[in-house]
Structures are given as structure tokens and as C-alpha cells.
Amino acid sequence: MLTPFTGSPIDLANAIGRVSAPSKFGKSTENASPGYYEVTLADHNVHVELTSTDRSGMHRYINNSGAQLNVLLDLRHRDRLLDHEIDILSDRIIRGKRISQAWANEQHVYYFIEFSSPFELAPLQTSTSTDSIADQFAQLDFGAIDTLLVKVGISAVDMVGAQRNLETENPEWNFSSVKKDAKVKWENELSKIDIEGGNEEQQTIFYTALYHSMIAPNLFSDQDGRYRGVDMQIHQDTLHPTYTVFSLWDTFRATHPLYTLIDHKRTNDFIRTFLKHYEQGGKLPMWELSANYTGCMIGYHAIPVIADAHAKHISNWNVEKAYEAMISAANTDHLGIPYHVDQGFISMGDEPESVSKLLEYCYDDWCIASMGERLNDPRINEYYSRATHYKNIYDPETGFMRGRNNGMFQFPFDPTEVNFCFTEANSWQYSMFAPQDITGLVNLHGGPEKFEKKLDELFSTTATVSGRHQVDITGLIGQYAHGNEPSHHMAYLYNYIEKPWKTAEMCSKIMEELYTTEPDGYCGNEDCGQMSAWYVLSAMGMYSVTPGTDYYVIGHPLFDKVTLNLENGNTFTIETKRNNESSYGVKSCQLNGHKYNKSFINHFDIMNGGELQFELTDQKNQPFGSKNGDFPVSSIDRNDALVSPYIVADNYSFEDSLLIEIKSVNKEVKHIADVNGDIFTYSEPFWIKTTSSIQVHSINTKGESSKPIKGSFRKRDKNMKIVELSEYANQYSGGGDQALVDGIEGGFDYRTGFWQGVQGSDYVVVVDRGNKSMIDSITIGCFQDIRSWIWFPKEIQLFTSNDNVNFKLEKSIKNNFPTSKYGNFKKSFKASLGVKARYVKIAAIYPGNCPDWHLGVGGKSWIFMDEINVH
């Protein structure tokens, strides 16, 4: 980081604390446009201008103070330094490196900096506490000059690469020329889409969104084609650039489909980069940053990007290698994929975020199958079958996708609750995600009419979420959360049930209410262009609900005329006439002068060039898109896996007996049950009176079997009962009020359903043993994951009583585990007592709020417990 400031040089403590070098600035002095930014640093009266080439930046500092101008080079900013270098080559040139660890485990940045005026090195005064980090800074004194130009070349390869990038792209000292060139480049990119009509705010939002959509992925290779691979080795590709920053969980939905319309060249280069990752690191990217697999997010969403490009004939890359990489990604042993493959769903107890992961794996598997079908791969039936596994987590009683555990659906259940079954969402925000088989999803709900009511409810129900606080869930319209990606396709689902005017109306509402030109003009995180790409596509009147298909669903064109200036030289225009702003019905539509009634449009019709003309009306229920063949269809008509049954019971454990019921989405099936080795055809609910293992599978009229499901139900000691308990979080119930004595222990991940959690207070439990008897010892299982704000209790106090009123403190067990150690840890707090008593009170003492050094400083921490054993 380079920071200009005026006056006397500062000491190292000041630099570390950023006391003098940072500055206030007035928003009125800011100005930004593609390729340019300027601001005045008020504390130092220095005006800063920034512009760039592809691989270098250029700064202009105008010193209006008349005082000495200094520049601080700070390699310590933000990330943890692994290695660094500051090499003063002359009084005008510095080069070096910064290898750091944060989100990217090993991020390499090499730099080469030239200054237009000579500097003197102004040493930072140090103390014994700062000597060891003094070489992470350089303070440069330029004297009382009026203007300073700075050129910075960067590279992920080495310092030589940084120098070559700078000297090749910006050999002169002409700031205005670089700024002009940057403007021209951006003008060429943004001119790929021309718009007419709309108001000034809508036009500003549109081109801002188009600009945002193009910021990532980032160019990662040097001028000579060298780049750092995910193996951390240096490779070279002189024919095609290499890219970084692939936030694929976000961008597969709209950003990459937008690129297939306006940027085939880069789409090809992105996929070539994917294949480099596969060849050098053994896997496709999921969330890649600076040649690092960050392990962030879920799914294997490089696959839909590849499949979508292939479906649209954008395939100037090694198709066979890409398909091999897709098959590999879908069969890795991580993040619950083997459970999806083997049992048809992912249990909460086996993998956190199980619902979201399964739903996204199913879609990704369909992408493999659809591309494999084009390649005549005989393995496609397996992937079509896997793509229907989403049905195994659909609960027909509630109409929602739900977590499954122990053969049952998660309980208690609240569709608004944000919990460990979902990724940055709740059940409302994931229950509509089956883009590969929307027909199947509609049928699960009982047909188009019932599905329409469900969609209506989604957009009209309470906008309040419960459970864990999730900052990503924003932009709520009912439970639709536009501020995060899982909801982005939902408004377009009305087209699939012959109600395109409802799609148009909701898309218009989203564009109007959730995008503005204010500083908080987006309702959620940009997420590397996805939030903007949704707007760009939607404002043009189309959206790719199922990337991997060759069509776009028609929504609500915002402008009078949109022109796509295509790479192949063709143009495609979308013209819209409307009665008023509430014209959501399509009175008529023509494609290239011919009547067009389809509520979707083929990608190749766009690529061939032409004109799509709409006449809109405020009479909503028009015949447009309402006949067979005129509305989009997404369905899996082959190798539909038979849906697995599920068990209904009050709990995982019981005292005397437990009623077991077996159900299924499928009606025309019989269930074969195995209870402790006793195999029978299920006909009615039955009771179990001993600890039991149950396995069930379904058989349909064709003799086809579902995958089996399993459940274990434990008979607990009825003399061991929890009679008083701190209020635990609903999403971390562990199975209910008796979870701590049910004999089922939590594993090494708190999100899998068996741990019980209390936030911000002591955790107090009273156990009734049924009678007064000798207590030899007690063990209490606890969990720590400080990254998730969970600490072991400060101590555990053990009390005994015979009347549940008067308690005596018997022992206190101090926690001796490090409170600053990251990772997932289980610990049994044990104590020998040797006293007779009926009641035992366990008080787990609150460890305090998150400490100053923690990312969640000041936040309320958690205590997680499971299981209490009294011997």
C-alpha cells in the first residue's frame, strides 16, 4: 500500500497504528469513472488521482500544502506477512515482493515502482518492540514538490515480471494519456450493449451494473504469458491469458451466462484457466483467489460454467479434458459428495449445510449429464439419476426442503430459520432450487396451481428471518432474499407455469426497489459481478434460470430499446412499447418480423442477429407463453431415482416406547422395513420398546428399489431426566430438551445437529436421577471452535441436591485448554464425586464476549454441550 502524506516523517509506531499517514477526505472531492479515481486527502491537502493499464497502475499526487511530501510504502497492511522484500534500486526506483496469508493461503505480489522525482529514504524510528518489523515499511521524502507521478507494475510471478509489465504497458510519464487509454478500453467494453429509453437513474444503474459485471475475474498472467499456477510453480501460456478470482457459487448464475452473450473470447479463456487449475492442482476451482483454492462456499460450480459454454457452442478449449475434470469434481471425497452418491441425500449428522449442498450437487450433476449426452458418454444415466436426488429432502407435509438426520426430517422446523442445514439462507430461500428439473419440482408441490400459490407466498409472507444472524440475507421481499444468490432465479419460475406476467411484475419490482444510484444502491454484496449481472440481464428482459441450457427466460424489458453488439459482427435488438409502467402483460411479440409467443428465447437466435419486439399491456393475463411449446420446460425424463422413504417419530430417544411411522413422497410404493434384523413389509405405524436400528427402502410397481435409509433410536434411562435447562438456540437444539442425556454424542462439527448451544450466558442444566444414590463421577462433553465464536466454558461447577431446591457446590473444573487455539475440538470435563444425591446441577460458566484479538470482538460467544454422563 502506498500512502502520500505531508510534513515531518513519522515513526514506526505511528505507521503501524496508522495515526498520521491516513487522512480524512471529503466525499465532494471524490470522482470515479471506469479506469479513473480521484480524491483529496484533507489532512494533508494532497489531491490523489489514480488510473491504470492492464497490469500496472499510475498515481498522480498534487501537493497543495507547500509542505514536504512523503510516501509510505506499507507491506504489512491487512494480511499476515509470510515473506517480503523492499529493494531500493535508486533514488527513483523500488522493487520487492509481498507474500501474505489471509483468505488466500499464499498470495504472491511482486512490484516494481518508479517515481518521477528523486526521494531520500527517511528511516522510521523504532523501539525494541518494533525493530523486527521495520523492514516491512519504507518512508520516502520527496521534499516540497508540487506534483509527483508514480508508476507501479505488479506480477504474481516475480519482480522481473512486474518490471516488464510496467515497461511494456506504460513506458512514458503521461498520466493523461494512460487515463485516456483506460477510458477508451472501458468505452469499448461497455459499448457491447446500447440502451435507449428509461430515465437517467435507470441508465446509470444499468451501465454501473455492466461495469461491475466486468471487473472480475481478474487478469493474472504477465505480458510474456507467465503465470503462477495453483501448484505455486511458474508456467507460461503465450497464446491465452490466465485469470483469477472465480467466485463461482455466485457467478455461475448470471455473470457467466452474461459473458456467453457479450464476451466469448474471455469465456473461452476462463475455461482454459479452469483446465490449468485441474492439470496443475488436480481439481477445478470452486472459489479461487490468486492461484489458491480457498475452500470457500459449496458445489462444484465450474461445471455449469463449462456446460453452459459448451451448450452455446463456445468451446475453443479441450472439451474432453474439461469433461474429465467435471467427472472428477463430482466424485471427490469431500463436502458430503459420497453421501449424495451412495445414499441419495446428505444427512445433517454427516455434513453441515447438507440441504444446500445436496441441491447444488444435483444441479451440477445434471450439467454433467446434459453435456455428456452431447458427447455420447454412456455414463450419463448415473448423473441424470443423481440429479433427481433433490426429491429425497422434500417434505410433502410442509412443502419445503428440509434437513434429514437419522432417517427423519429435521425437527423442530421453521422455514424462516437460518441454521446449519443451509448455506447463507433458510428453507424458503433454497426450496425453489431445482433448476435442472422444474417440472419435477412443480409436481412435488402438487402441480402448477399449488406451485403458483407457493411462489406467491414466497414473495408475500413475512420478511422476518429467525435463527442465526446472517448478514448476507438482505433485500427481502417476503422470504425472497435478493441480497444473496440462491434466490436470484425465483422470480422467473412463473414462466414455467404459464404465468409470465407475474415474472414481469416481480422482476420490475426488484429492479425498481432494490437497485438505486445511492451509495447503498445494491441490497447485498456485489459478489464479483453476480448482483450486477442479474440486473443487466433482467433489464434487457431475459435471464438464464438453468445455465447449461441454450435459452433465456423472458422477463420484463426495462428500456425502450436494447442493442447487443455481438462479437461475430451481428446485432440483436430488443424493442419494447408499453402503455404505462404497469404494463406487465405481453399483448404481442415478434421475432424478426414473425409472430412469437414463446416466453423464452434461444441463444442462437440472439447470436444470429435480429430483432425482438414487444408490445406490452396492463392487461396481465395474456395468451403469451401459455401454450405447450410456448413456455420453458426444464425436466428430467429419464433415470429418475425412486425417492427414499422417511421415518416419522417424536425423537431420537425415548423412555418407555416410541411410535414409528414410515412415509414417502411416492404413493404407489411399498416399504420394506428391517428392525433389529426383523424384516417385514410395512403396513401401519408400530411401536418399539428397546433400543432399535431401523432400515427401510421402498419398492415401486415396476420392482425398482429406492436407496435405503437408516435410523437408530435409543432407549434412555428414564431415571436420568433433564428437569431444568438454560434456553438453547432453536437451530442448535441437539434434538430437544433431553438431548444432553439421550446417549447420542456430537461429533467434530457443531453444525451437524447433535450439539446443543447457548449464547451469551452461563449454561445451566439440572439432571434428575430419579432417586438418591451414589454418584461416583460425572463427565460433560463440550466443544470449541473459536472461528465460529464457540469456546469451552470458563469452568464447570457441579452441585448436588436431594430436593431440587437446596444445592451444594461439590466441585469446580477449570478449563485448561488454550482459548486462542483455532480448530474444532472436543473436551470431556470430568470429576470424581463420591456422594449420594438425586439431583445434579451443571453450571457451565460463560467464557465472556469475543476478545479484542478476535474477528468478532465484543460479540456474544457460545457454549456447546453434549453429552452428560453420571456414573
Cα distance between residue 385 and residue 610, in whole Å: 39
Residue 549 in any domain: the answer is no
- Residue range 347-371, pLDDT digits in tens: 998 999 999 999 999 999 999 999 9
Same domain? For 693 and 770 the reply is no
Domain assignment of residue 710, given as a range: 646-715
Q: Is the pLDDT score of 639 beyond 90? A: no
- Identity (one letter) of the amino acid at 745? E
Examine the pLDDT at 132 and tell me if it is beyond 80. Answer: no
Q: Does 121 lie in the same domain as 6?
A: yes
**Considering only CA atoms, which of 67, 45, 72, 44 is closest in space to residue 150?**
72
| One domain, residues 38 and 178 | yes
One domain for residues 749 and 832:
yes
What pTM did the predictor assign? 0.93
C-alpha cell read off for 422: 443451509
| pLDDT of residue 269 exceeding 60 | yes
Residues 689, 744 within the same domain = no
| Domain's final residue, options 715, 741, 763 | 715
How confident is the model at residue 730, as a pLDDT?
82
For residue 521, give the C-alpha cell: 444502491
Residue 365 belongs to some domain of the structure: no
| Residues of the chain above pLDDT 90, percent | 89
Residue 50 shares a structural domain with residue 130? yes
Task: Kindly state whether residue 626 falls inside one of the protein's structural domains.
Answer: no
Residues 103-132 have a mean pLDDT of 86
Task: Indicate whether 667 and 807 sit together in one domain.
Answer: no
| Residue at 15 is within a domain | yes
Q: Are residues 745 and 863 in the same domain?
A: yes
Residue 22: the pLDDT is 77
Q: What is the CATH number of the domain that holds 11?
A: 2.70.98.10
Which among 364, 518, 526, 536 is positioned nearest to 433, based on CA atoms?
364
15 and 145 belong to one structural domain? yes
* R_g of the chain computed on alpha carbons: 31
Contact yes or no for 753/818 (Cβ under 8 A): no
Domain boundary, last residue among 715, 742, 769: 715
CB pairs under 8 A, 24+ apart, for 698-702?
698/642, 698/643, 698/644, 698/645, 698/664, 698/666, 698/669, 698/670, 698/671, 698/672, 699/669, 699/670, 699/671, 699/672, 700/642, 700/666, 700/668, 700/669, 701/668, 701/669
Q: Are residues 696 and 747 in the same domain?
A: no
Q: For the segment 78-104, what is each residue's pLDDT rounded down to a tens digit?
A: 888 999 999 999 999 999 999 999 999
Mean pLDDT score, 549-575 = 99
Check residue 709 and give its pLDDT: 97
- Whether residue 332 is contained in a domain is answered as no
pLDDT digits (tens, 9 = 90+) for 304-338: 999 999 999 999 999 999 999 999 999 999 999 99
Q: What is the average per-residue pLDDT within 410-422?
A: 92
User: Sorting pLDDT into bands at 50, 70 and 90, what band is 133?
Assistant: confident
Of 153, 188, 223, the residue at which a domain comes to its end is: 188
- Under the banding of pLDDT at 50, 70 and 90, the label for residue 619 is very high
Residue 84 lies in a domain: yes
Look at 11-20, 489-498, 666-675 and tell me which has the smallest mean pLDDT. Answer: 11-20
Mean pLDDT throughout 458-465? 96
User: Tell me, what CATH number does 660's domain have?
Assistant: 2.60.40.10
Look at residues 166, 218, 148, 211 and name the one whose alpha carbon lies nearest to residue 52: 166
Among the listed residues 91, 182, 83, the one whose alpha carbon sits nearest the alpha carbon of residue 143: 91
Going by their DSSP bridges, the two strands 825-844 and 476-477 should be labelled as unpaired
**Predicted confidence band of residue 641 (pLDDT cuts 50, 70, 90):** confident
Distances (CA, A) of 655 to 513, 717, 718, 825: 54, 7, 5, 31
* pLDDT score of 735: 81
Collapsing DSSP to helix, strand or coil, 747 comes out as coil
CA distance 84 to 196: 51
The helix (H) or strand (E) run that includes residue 615 is strand 610-617
Residue type, 165: N
Q: How far apart are CA 47 and CA 70, in angstroms?
A: 13
Predicted pLDDT of residue 127 = 59
- In CATH, what number is assigned to the domain containing residue 772? 2.60.120.1190
Residue 736: band (very low, low, confident or very high) from pLDDT cuts 50, 70, 90: confident
Q: Are 718 and 770 in contact (CB under 8 A)?
A: yes
Report residue 28 as a C-alpha cell. Answer: 465532494
Give the C-alpha distances (Å, rounded to integers) separating 558 from 202, 521, 522, 554, 813.
8, 18, 18, 12, 66
State which H helix or E strand residue 3 sits in.
strand 2-6
Number of domains in the chain: 3
Residue 27 sits in the same domain as residue 144: yes
Residue 622, domain member (yes or no):
no
Q: What is the pLDDT of residue 20?
A: 62
Q: What is the pLDDT of residue 751?
A: 82
- Does any domain span residue 822? yes
What pLDDT does 86 receive? 96
Q: Determine the pLDDT at residue 470.
A: 86
Q: Which of 713, 707, 681 is nearest to 694 (CA)?
A: 713
Span 817-833, average pLDDT: 94
Mean pLDDT of 137-165: 97
- 694 and 795 inside one domain: no
Residue 129 has pLDDT above 60, yes or no: no
pLDDT at position 8 is 86
Q: How far is CA 426 from the centre of its chain?
A: 13
* Residue 130 pLDDT exceeds 60: no
pLDDT recorded at residue 128: 56
